[in-house]
């Protein structure tokens, strides 16, 4: 019997053994996709009984496009001094939050670049004023990379930055900037970005003070299967350390393939010098399924419709994903890289979920149910 079959057979029991790195690499290399998807779906059903698939009504606010990091896969940023740079005012940001409130949204995901002209006081002021004017909206803002940038600008530790932002109203720290938590891969696509150790450390600090966090992963950066498993292992290990210490840990894991249409990474991947970048829909589904099996201490796996499209995201719901992501009102970073659709209505997400045979339920950023099929859960 091939070893991958034995690994998968053990995973359909009610108390499956933990798989380790060599097992996951074996699944990547050899497992039949249909068997892999079946087992991941069974793992989801055992962890999350019932037929519910959740989604979030939120808005992305990219408060600045000024950035000094120069990631090769990013088409959104502009270097300081560029004619197309911007930084939004509080009133501009608040007006966008108000539009989200009008459609029953519960969270903003506010991220930008590492802007050397913005000190800690700017971020504290924005959060305090947003919390005062929009008390019902969760403020999940910035990323570990932005936190590192702020800390360097003002000359204090990242934990001090996080603490001051939390006191000002920060609710959660999004998982952006992880990409691939393998330094050899990171240096190849984003040589000025902080190390994988830094990302892990900042996320651990955020969890230690009670901030809501998520883990992310970008595949198709020229990495090996071993690299992908190393990324998953680092996420799983931090989750274990945080939850053992009594901290909340990651709420969820989200992965997607790199977009190559409108950036220097994609342009360098053309012609006679072409090398292996990007990931197909099949690779993505394999990755979702293996993530569900490997990340046995993270409850929620999110499907990525902005990069994969609704049809593939729907298939991911049968490959272990239990969440359809969010409406992503006004998304700019992914769209700049070439994807054709980066916003969805509540109706579109509910239709995608229901047509796959699941029951749609709106959640908040902590996975508390807000409404089921459009009916508030408190009625």
The arrangement of strands across the sheet holding 52-56 comes to 58-61, 107-110, 138-141, 172-173, 212-219, 250-257, 300-302, 323-326, 52-56, 359-363, 369-372, 375-376
Domain of residue 288: give its range.
3-376
Vertex 352: Cα angle to 51 and 338 (nearest 5): 130
Q: What is the DSSP string of 176-223?
A: TT-S-S-HHHHHHH-TTSPPHHHHHHHHHHHHHTT-EEEEEEEE-SS-
Q: Is there a contact between 255 and 288 (Cβ–Cβ < 8 Å)?
A: yes
Q: How many domains does the chain have?
A: 1
Q: What is the pLDDT of residue 71?
A: 61
Strand partners of residue 257: 219
The CA-CA-CA angle for residues 360, 52, 373, to 5°, reads 25
- Per residue in 328-343, pLDDT (tens digit) is 876 444 444 444 456 8
- The CATH number of the domain holding residue 17 is 3.20.20.70
Distance of CA 374 to the CA centre of its chain: 25
**pLDDT score recorded for residue 27:** 98
pLDDT of amino acid 337? 41
In total, the chain counts a number of residues equal to 379
Kind and range of the H or E element at 260?
Answer: none
Say yes or no to pLDDT of 151 above 90. Answer: yes
pTM summary value: 0.90
pLDDT tens for 45-87 read: 999 999 999 999 999 999 988 887 666 557 666 777 777 788 8
């Amino acid at each position: 019997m091939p070893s991958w079959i034995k690994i998968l057979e053990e995973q359909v029991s009610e108390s499956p053994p933990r798989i380790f790195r060599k097992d996951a690499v074996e699944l990547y290399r050899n497992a039949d996709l249909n068997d892999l998807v079946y087992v991941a779906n069974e793992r989801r059903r055992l962890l999350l009984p019932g037929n519910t698939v959740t989604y979030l009504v939120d808005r992305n606010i990219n408060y600045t496009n000024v950035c000094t990091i120069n990631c090769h896969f990013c088409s959104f940023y502009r270097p300081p001094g560029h004619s197309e740079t911007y930084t939004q005012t509080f009133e501009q940001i608040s007006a966008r939050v108000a539009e989200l409130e009008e459609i029953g949204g519960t969270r903003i995901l506010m991220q930008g670049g590492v802007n050397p002209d913005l000190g800690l006081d700017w971020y504290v002021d924005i959060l305090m004023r947003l919390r005062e004017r929009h008390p019902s909206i969760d403020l999940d803002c910035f990323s570990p990379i932005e936190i590192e940038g702020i800390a360097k600008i003002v000359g204090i530790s990242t934990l001090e930055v996080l603490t001051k932002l939390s006191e000002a109203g920060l609710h959660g720290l999004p998982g952006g900037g992880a990409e691939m938590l393998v330094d050899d891969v990171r240096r190849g696509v984003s040589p000025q970005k902080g190390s994988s150790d830094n990302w892990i450390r900042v996320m651990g600090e955020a969890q230690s003070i009670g901030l809501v966090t998520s883990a992310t992963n970008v595949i198709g950066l020229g990495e090996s299967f071993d690299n992908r498993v190393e990324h998953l292992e680092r996420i799983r290990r931090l989750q274990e350390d945080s939850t053992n210490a009594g901290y909340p840990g990651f709420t969820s894991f989200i992965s997607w393939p790199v977009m190559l249409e409108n950036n220097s990474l994609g342009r360098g991947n053309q012609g006679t010098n072409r090398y292996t970048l990007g990931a197909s829909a099949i690779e993505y589904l394999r990755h979702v399924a293996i993530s569900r099996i490997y990340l046995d201490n993270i409850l929620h796996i999110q499907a990525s419709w902005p990069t994969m499209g609704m049809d593939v995201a729907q298939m991911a719901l049968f490959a272990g994903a239990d969440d359809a992501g969010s409406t992503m009102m006004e998304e700019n970073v992914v769209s700049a890289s070439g994807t054709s659709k980066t916003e969805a209505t509540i109706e579109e997400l509910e239709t995608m979920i229901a047509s796959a045979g699941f029951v749609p339920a709106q959640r908040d950023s902590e996975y508390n149910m807000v409404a089921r099929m459009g009916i508030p859960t408190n009625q």
